[in-house]
Amino acid sequence: MYSLNGDWSAKTLHGAQFVCGYCGSVTASNQGFFNQIKNYHHTKYKHFIYICSFCNLPTFFEYFGTDCQKQTPAPMIGRTVKHLPKDVEKVYNEARDCTSVGAYTAAVMLCRKLLMHIAVEQGAEEGKSFKHYVDFW
């Protein structure tokens, strides 16, 4: 079904700026790997792996034509929050990690759990519905 054109040897590529999904840095790189796949419809998919200039980890990009279809890992949604209690920080960061791999349902469930936990910590009754905790605020 697929024919491979090109090889996966490291080379100098056209430069690309991106937010690294590992370290969160805005980076630019022209070093990495390239391959192009043509399927039986002669549709061309271009694949790049760029190396982050800060953490030296690889990020995969899939293009269809000139449009980037997917970055793996993607940048995490949200910002780092300082001075959180350790248990809250752990769940918050896990939810952010979920967004970087497209696990949005898992991220939403963790954020709901976090909101419920914080509401109880602030005086709401335990064992109530999610709506109860949202209305508590």
Is 50 exceeded by the pLDDT of residue 1?
Answer: no
Interior angle at CA 89, CA 23 and CA 119, nearest 5:
145
Q: Is the Cβ–Cβ distance between 114 and 89 less than 8 Å?
A: no
Do 17 and 66 lie in one domain? The reply is yes
Query: What pLDDT, in 10s, does the model give residues 77-134?
Result: 998 899 999 999 999 999 999 998 889 999 999 999 999 999 999 999 999 999 999 9
Task: Give the range of the structural domain holding residue 119, as residue numbers without chain letter.
Answer: 86-136
Tally of structural domains, the chain: 2
Do 117 and 61 lie in one domain? The reply is no
Query: What pLDDT, in 10s, does the model give residues 9-45?
Result: 667 888 789 999 999 999 998 888 888 777 666 667 7
Look at strands 26-38 and 58-64 and give their pairing: unpaired
Extract the tokens encoding 34: 């390239």
Global pTM exceeds 0.75: no
Do 62 and 112 lie in one domain? The reply is no
Q: Is the Cβ–Cβ distance between 4 and 35 less than 8 Å?
A: yes
